[in-house]
Structure 1
Amino acid sequence: MKPEHLPLLNTVSPPAAHPDGTRAVVSVTRPDLEADAYVGQLWTVPLDQEKLPRRITRGFRDTAPAFSPDGLVLAFLRADGPSSKAQLCVVEADGGEPQVITDRLLGVETFSWSPDSQRIVFSSREPMAGRYGTAAGIAPEAEEPRLVTTLDYRLNGAGYTRDKPRQLFLVAVPELGGEPDSSVPDSRKVTSFSTDTGPGTFSADGSAVYFTAAPPADTDGLATAIYRLPVTGGEPVAFDLASPARQTIAEVRESRDGRWLFFIARDLGGSGMDFVARNAVLFCVPTGGGVPVPLTDPEMMDVLPPGSGIELRGPDRALVLNNAEGTVELLELGATGEHALLVHGDRAVTAAAWAGGSLFVSFADPSSSGDLAALDDGQLRILTDFSATLRNSTDITVPQEATFDAPDGYPVHGWVLRPAGQGPHPVLLNIHGGPFTQFTVALFDEAQVYVDAGYAVLMCNPRGSAGYGRDHGMAIKGRFGTVDMQDVLAFLDGALAKYAALDAGRLGIMGGSYGGYLTAWTIAHHHRFAAAIVERGFLDPVSFEGAADIGWYFGAGYLGSSDDALANRSPLKLAARVQTPTLVIHSENDLRCPLEQGQRYYAALKREGTEAELLIFPGEDHELSRSGRPRHRRQRFEHILRWWARFLPTPANPGEASSG
């Protein structure tokens, strides 16, 4: 795989299962280098494999499909161009011309159907008067100054949030099939919180909407509460969980029979701020109130992988995903204690949907960036092959699973990807961000591009990662750069000892976010690497506290709140020790690890005479490598390969001097 193959990476949305269970609709999106944007359309996928999947929309970017409960209407989000905001559309389930039913200045983010198929609740950011184009002729730089009185006021990818909080709205779905109507129905705003509300979902009888939001008296904390809002009007009422626990509640759904409320939450400890390595837990509580009962193990299971949530199956069961040792599993849990592991093994499940007796599963695996399957008699039956063009155009390398012991005997789990040929191959040690996330078995474009360029790639989940239990995640609290550095180096040394094709004399190290931290920390202590790449790094915990969107709690939670605790774990403080040539990559609009983190680290390296470069991407944020502009993603790859060609040339990536 080469940088120009990015447009072949098709990703698949959560499936929308038709109520009769005969088919599902998914959005298939991909980076488009010509448009320099992400494009996508909806595909219908029959359960019957004798019928082929087919594209059913032709919009620029159509996403988030959902059938009405009666099966007559399909709703989805449509953006008409690269800079357009997504609006809510509806179309007859059997086909036709979509009708746009919202006209929100800042677009629609999420939505959910009412049980009677007559209404939709959706979320959208509500701009303050005079901002974001609400006042004609006033450009952003001419707006009034912002008076900030809270700590939580910005979010990476969204910018300022207190002057455009995400609110919920109700809209009646117009009758389709009649005369063409270009008018947009009126939407009714139903929340007025000063902070963002979570997605809204209807109660089983359609009389109320559930959502999450920060309690008005605690908008600078991490805790959120569940609210219930009558659809006929009135104020939201906080749901009484009859529990003293303070939690971040991420998702809430009422069971189909209306008797139970499922929700996913992370406990925040007695302080209400103890977020470190807190596994997400699925809880259940009667809709009439009571003490929530955990349905998943808070010590060993983490049921909120990125982008996931709760889906319903049957009258009183919930489907959730679980991070598990580099895979993502699909679980089914009943309100009264039933528990089933439905999908596991070498894949990362991304979503599931059940209807009409059929269970559809979206997933990625070592050879697919996204496909759809049906679960039949406990086995996945693959229904699509959206990665066929990628495989036919490139050589996909399947990662080899490996475990090596750290110096203290702790097992470090991960994967080794080796190029074709006997070698010896230069080695890139790649470190993930988080730190409470995990590398998985799913196809990873980064690793595939580097392997194609002639590098062996090592990826592991050191202590601090998710997916291996809370003790594993907690192991680096208060001690970044200790056992986590031992683990990644032990994985490197174990792979070098096991695989003769790896060149122990030609090593590179790289990582992003927390991975950028650990890369910078490692090269300050070890000088065995020919070069390094520090990307969007958490590089100075002291300045991070006042500059990052999560700075007001992240450093204190992981490292301690004193100035000494923050400074003593700072890679910036150790820059004088670095001898390794280092490429620092950062994005201008990164609010998670602000640009000044990279700039100050780069300046410190240069001051000490260390060879260094600073690569800055305009208009991008913390998600550049995953969802940045396609051309920037390609250019990022090209610069990374240029850097490695300079210090670790290969026949496939020789660099200008070697190819001359």
Structure 2
Amino acid sequence: MALVKADLPLTKYTVPQVIVDIVEKEIKIHNGDTFYGLYNTGFPERPWASGNRLLLNTNQKYTINSYVIDIESGHVTNLKFIDGSQTVADVYGDTVLAVQSNYFMPDKLVIGKLPRAGSESLISWTDLTATTDLSGPENCFYVYLDLSASSVSDTVRSFNAIYVGPNERTEKYVPLIVWPHDGPHCAFANFWMMEVILFARFGFGILFINYRGSIGSGQSSVEFLLGKIGRSDVADCITAIDKALETLPCLDPYNLALFGGSYGGFLVTHLSGQYPERFNSVVAHNPIIDMASMNLMSHIPDWCYVEVGVEYTQRGKIDNDILIAMRKASPIVHAHKVKAPTLLQIGTKDLRVPSHQGTEYYLRLKANGVHTRMNLYDGDHSLGIASNEDDIVISLLWIMKHEADNFVNGVHRLNLA
């Protein structure tokens, strides 16, 4: 996004003045920090401090950061938090309330007094709530992985991933859950997630992948994916997996599971079809399986067009080439090659990715002899109600059940540690 301002009242002659422009790749801001642009979909209810300074939060690569923007000078200043993500919740005068967290620290409220203009980065935070000590992740850590696509001809090559999990000394010991995000134009960030603690306590590592097309890395990266879905994003996932296995010797290359929802489900079903020998199990909730049929019933038909690189329109006669492009970009074309046991979690009230997507995939996997299961829920796209969230345990049990060589004398090897 770009941040602009204009004098009131607005008229047809009003020309907004750009304060912070769209960032194609990266720029330098106050104090020499690197800035990748604005991706916020809103502001705090009270975002203003003295001196016409606006506070907001936005994704930046693998974190969510809070910024102060002086709308007179255009200066952008990062209110740094070095150990995870930080979001401003409220501003009153120059008093700022914020939330800090990371994968191993639940949300913590902090408060600070914003210094004068030009010195905002010197803000000092005071804890309002205590940090909770969690049992389970004592031997765990997270690491940011800056990655590059192998194709030197691509206009955008850089992307990133985050590994979270055990820091074992034993080589090839830790099973890995590969988790690409949904969207596709959003991003994973280092903040509190219940699933991280759950998976870590059972000895799993997680690889969160921000493939090209993710926000937080410049507009060029966001737009790069259009017309390349099912190809460049899949290639990025493989690159991220290979780099994680190379960088972290504790990971077991023969115990890889796939986990994702919506567009993340699109990617994990692509991966299991395009690389059938690499993965032991798949969990996909409300996955996009066939864009050609999805666009007929989804409440976002325009999404299906734009992501395959064409303009959305209902004018004129039907263009079969567009439908074919949607089909070719979809995981359904690789379903006959899948070998990994697959668990589908489907919301029957999903308007975004209608439940027929999961049903179509389930029937095709069954017909091709793949061990598969489909759980139907009285829920929408997010499957966010508590009873559905509880089924995250079923996801974990499915992955554990289908690990390679996961039992020693009848005892699950993760329980031997």
Do structure 1's residue 501 and structure 2's residue 250 form an aligned pair? yes
SS in 2 for 1:430: strand
For residues 371 and 429 of structure 1, do their structure 2 counterparts lie closer, same or farther at Cα, with a shift above 3 Å needed?
Answer: same
Question: Which residue of 578, 600, 608 corresponds with 2:338?
Answer: 578
- C-alpha separation between the residues in 2 aligned to 1:651 and 1:369? 33
- Tell me what 2:38 maps to: 303
Structure 2 alignment gaps of length 5 or more = 25-35, 116-121, 313-321
SS in 2 for 1:399: strand
Question: Which residue of 36, 56, 64 corresponds with 1:328?
Answer: 64
- Tell me what 2:237 maps to: 488
Tell me the alpha carbon deviations over residues 456-506 of structure 1, each in whole angstroms, 9 at most, x when there is no partner.
211121101110001111111011021211111111101111222111112
Structure 1's consecutive aligned runs of 4 or more residues displaced over 6 angstroms after TM superposition are 654-659
- Tell me what 1:611 maps to: 371
CA contact (8 A) 2:167 2:250 kept: no
- Tell me what 1:292 maps to: 16
- C-alpha separation between the residues in 2 aligned to 1:399 and 1:308? 29
CA contact (8 A) 1:645 1:655 kept: no
Following TM superposition, by how much is the alpha carbon of 1:380 offset from its aligned partner in structure 2, in angstroms?
A: 4.2
- C-alpha separation between the residues in 2 aligned to 1:631 and 1:336? 49
**Which of 374-383 and 446-455 deviates more?**
374-383
1:641-656 aligned at under 5 Å gives the runs 641-648=396-403
- C-alpha separation between the residues in 1 aligned to 2:144 and 2:237? 15
- C-alpha separation between the residues in 1 aligned to 2:396 and 2:143? 23
For residues 504 and 656 of structure 1, do their structure 2 counterparts lie closer, same or farther at Cα, with a shift above 3 Å needed?
Answer: closer
1:526-545 aligned at under 5 Å gives the runs 526-527=275-276, 528-545=278-295
1:113-152 aligned at under 5 Å gives the runs none
Structure 1 alignment gaps of length 5 or more = 1-279
SS in 2 for 1:472: helix
- Tell me what 1:401 maps to: 144
- C-alpha separation between the residues in 2 aligned to 1:395 and 1:486? 31
Do structure 1's residue 474 and structure 2's residue 223 form an aligned pair? yes
1:552-563 aligned at under 5 Å gives the runs 552-559=301-308, 560=310, 562-563=322-323
Relative to the length of structure 2, the TM-score reads 0.82
Following TM superposition, by how much is the alpha carbon of 1:309 offset from its aligned partner in structure 2, in angstroms?
A: 4.7
Tell me the alpha carbon deviations over residues 177-229 of structure 1, each in whole angstroms, 9 at most, x when there is no partner.
xxxxxxxxxxxxxxxxxxxxxxxxxxxxxxxxxxxxxxxxxxxxxxxxxxxxx
- C-alpha separation between the residues in 1 aligned to 2:44 and 2:387? 31
- C-alpha separation between the residues in 2 aligned to 1:500 and 1:581? 26
Q: CA RMSD in A?
A: 2.6
Following TM superposition, by how much is the alpha carbon of 1:284 offset from its aligned partner in structure 2, in angstroms?
A: 0.7
- Tell me what 2:386 maps to: 630
Following TM superposition, by how much is the alpha carbon of 1:394 offset from its aligned partner in structure 2, in angstroms?
A: 4.1
- C-alpha separation between the residues in 2 aligned to 1:392 and 1:323? 26
- C-alpha separation between the residues in 2 aligned to 1:393 and 1:498? 27
1:38-437 aligned at under 5 Å gives the runs 280-289=1-10, 290-300=14-24, 301-305=36-40, 308-309=43-44, 311-314=47-50, 316-344=52-80, 345-376=82-113, 378-385=122-129, 387-388=131-132, 391-395=133-137, 397-408=140-151, 410-419=157-166, 421-423=168-170, 424-437=173-186
Following TM superposition, by how much is the alpha carbon of 1:434 offset from its aligned partner in structure 2, in angstroms?
A: 0.7
- C-alpha separation between the residues in 2 aligned to 1:500 and 1:658? 18
- C-alpha separation between the residues in 2 aligned to 1:386 and 1:534? 36
Question: Which residue of 252, 271, 277 corresponds with 1:522?
Answer: 271
- C-alpha separation between the residues in 2 aligned to 1:531 and 1:316? 53
The alignment-based identity, stated in percent, is 21
Relative to the length of structure 1, the TM-score reads 0.53
Greater percentage in helix: 2
**Which of 486-495 and 568-577 deviates more?**
568-577
Following TM superposition, by how much is the alpha carbon of 1:334 offset from its aligned partner in structure 2, in angstroms?
A: 3.0
For residues 609 and 386 of structure 1, do their structure 2 counterparts lie closer, same or farther at Cα, with a shift above 3 Å needed?
Answer: farther
Q: Which has the larger radius of gyration?
A: 1
- C-alpha separation between the residues in 2 aligned to 1:543 and 1:516? 16
**How many residues matched?**
371
